[in-house]
Amino acid sequence: MLDVVISRPKLPAAGALVLPVEEGGVAQALDWNELDAVTGGAVARAIQAAEFKGRKGSTVLVLGPGAGLSRVVAVGLGRAADVTPLIAEEAGGAAIAQVVCEENVALASAGLAPVVAAHFALGASLRSYRFDRYRTTKKAEDKSRLARLTLLAEDQRAAESAWGGLKPVAEGVFLARDLVSEPPNVLTPAEMARRCEGLSELGVEVDVFGPKEMAALGFGALLGVAQGSVNEPRMVVMQWRGAGGKAGKPLAFVGKGVTFDSGGISIKPATGMEEMKWDMAGAGAVIGLIATLATRKACADVVGLVGLVENLPSGSAQRPGDVVRTYSGQTVEVINTDAEGRLVLADALWYCQQRFDPLFIVDLATLTGAMVVSLGHEIAGFFSNDHLLSRNLRAAAETTGEKVWRLPLDEAYDKQIKSDIADMKNVGGRPGGAITAAMFLQRFVNGKPWAHLDIAGVAWASKDAPTVPKGATGYGVRLLDRMVRDQYEA
């Protein structure tokens, strides 16, 4: 991850310089006259020639301006009165994308409030992410050289404090992105569980359940999904006890972790099936969230559960028409084996509310293609039986830019999943597919305050965004960390 250090606001002697510019003028990040003098006016001329006005997200790149600087990037913040931490993050990401060939970059942040400057660094760090561990022939000129970002701040102590609270968030997002990016032959359910066990170094209590333990509990839905693969399933329970022994119910987060989803017997088309390695992005987000909370010593008791399976066709695979008995005792007729994520979550959700009696449960899952059709790749859809939890999710979404939109839960949709031979079936047909999937899950929360985030459209980016390079997004880590931080910490 990009090394961020805090230093006093002095013009660097070498490397690249990022210059935040408010609409109508430089944000007094450094002595503008000094920069203008040592570069012979090159930066000012470039800004003028580009008709750069400092509009939000706009950039100007100046190559070899002089004074030892290889690059200067001016990035617009928009109107000074409108600058928020989120705008700063997006500006940081836009700017750092221009200097990936530089090893050392300085951010002239003295004109920004320390918290805003720290969010600028967060955006830069998030955009700097690369997943290159399997590349062996990449040319040197195509590799990112970014190693250090120096935050030039007048109030170094305040900037260090602000960045100290954000660095764990970046680390949690990077962990989630790493997990989602891994190829499925590497990240099997067992390997993903092993990586969860590494969180014990942060003070997280980690329990791993194998097939025998889950069979003894009666996890018929989860095990039914897994029975077609030689890679055995796991369920992992992660507990962070940060409330200091204060009485109260824990917060609970549950993630779908299908490490590869072929669709099973109801097999998917070959085109694009390789993307189904990221059908565990919900679990990846939960793992990244728990790591973030533990690293920053969040003052809350939190539990994270992830159900980890591989869904493959074979002679032992689950068949359309099978009936499985869930951990709750309810039975499910399997109409389509490609609607497997809700079966995994059914057992995990019931176990979560039975064992921990949490204050609320939020589950994350790349659950339905119907959600992608509904909201595309910009916003995650969510469903909830609790208005306070919904309000808190929306507030966190506005702050972090990880957008959400609430969709309805209505009894009329519940009729679509009625089965002729079991308590329910696992699909309700094409109409309202994301809604009927949520109605299915609601049957396993037993009335607990609950929200279901369908992240199918936002877990993977097909193109670069200001703080998200193409690939795994780590969606959910920032959203849920912010919700915990703002609403539930003691």
- In this structure, are 178 and 112 located in the same domain? no
- The reported pLDDT for the residue numbered 212 is 98
Whether residue 483 lies inside any domain: the answer is: yes
Beta-carbon contacts of residue 470 (< 8 Å; ≥ 6 apart)? 461, 462, 463, 464
Mean pLDDT of the chain: 94
- In this structure, are 305 and 432 located in the same domain? yes
Q: Are strands 234-241 and 25-26 parallel, antiparallel or unpaired?
A: unpaired
Q: Is pLDDT of 469 > 80?
A: yes
Q: Which domain holds residue 479?
A: 170-488
What percent of the chain has a predicted confidence (pLDDT) above 70? 98
Tell me which range, 3-12, 33-42, 95-104, 376-385, is most confidently predicted by mean pLDDT.
376-385
Q: Which of 39-48, 225-234, 264-273 has the lowest mean pLDDT?
A: 39-48
Whether residue 247 lies inside any domain: the answer is: yes
What gap in Å lies between CA 136 and CA 156, rounded to an integer?
40
DSSP codes joined into one string, 355-395: HH--SEEEEEE---HHHHHHHTTT-EEEEES-HHHHHHHHH
Q: What is the CATH number of the domain that holds 196?
A: 3.40.630.10
Q: What band does 31 get if pLDDT is binned at 50, 70 and 90?
A: low
- In this structure, are 123 and 191 located in the same domain? no
What gap in Å lies between CA 72 and CA 61, rounded to an integer?
6
Q: What is the CATH number of the domain that holds 116?
A: 3.40.220.10
- In the chain, what is the straight-line distance between the N-terminal and C-terminal CA atoms, in Å? 30
- In this structure, are 148 and 200 located in the same domain? no
- The reported pLDDT for the residue numbered 112 is 87
What gap in Å lies between CA 460 and CA 281, rounded to an integer?
9
- The reported pLDDT for the residue numbered 67 is 84
> Which of 119, 154, 189 is the C-terminal boundary of a domain?
154
Nearest to 305 by CA among 343, 351, 263: 351
- In this structure, are 113 and 73 located in the same domain? yes
Whether residue 185 lies inside any domain: the answer is: yes
Q: Is pLDDT of 150 > 70?
A: yes
Beta-carbon contacts of residue 293 (< 8 Å; ≥ 6 apart)? 240, 242, 300, 302, 481, 484
- In this structure, are 331 and 455 located in the same domain? yes
Crossing angle for the helix pair 387-400 and 85-96, nearest 10 degrees? 40
Alpha carbon 286 to its chain's center: 8
Nearest to 489 by CA among 288, 302, 254: 302
Give the total number of structural domains in the chain. 2
Q: Is pLDDT of 28 > 60?
A: no
Whether residue 427 lies inside any domain: the answer is: yes
Whether residue 160 lies inside any domain: the answer is: no
- The reported pLDDT for the residue numbered 10 is 86
- 334, 323 contact by CB (below 8 A): yes
With 0-12 / 13-18 / 19 or more C-beta atoms within 10 angstroms meaning exposed / middle / buried, residue 82 is exposed
Q: Is pLDDT of 33 > 80?
A: no
DSSP letter for 468, please: B
Q: What band does 141 get if pLDDT is binned at 50, 70 and 90?
A: low
> Which of 154, 188, 204 is the C-terminal boundary of a domain?
154
- In this structure, are 372 and 230 located in the same domain? yes
- In this structure, are 110 and 208 located in the same domain? no
Amino acid, single-letter form, for residue 381: G
> Which of 103, 122, 154 is the C-terminal boundary of a domain?
154
Whether residue 65 lies inside any domain: the answer is: yes
Catalytic site residues?
268, 342
Can you tell me the mean pLDDT for 72-83?
91
Q: What band does 155 get if pLDDT is binned at 50, 70 and 90?
A: very high
- In this structure, are 186 and 334 located in the same domain? yes
Instruction: Report pLDDT digits (tens) over 191-235.
Output: 999 999 999 999 999 999 999 999 999 999 999 999 999 999 999
What gap in Å lies between CA 335 and CA 314, rounded to an integer?
17
With 0-12 / 13-18 / 19 or more C-beta atoms within 10 angstroms meaning exposed / middle / buried, residue 378 is exposed
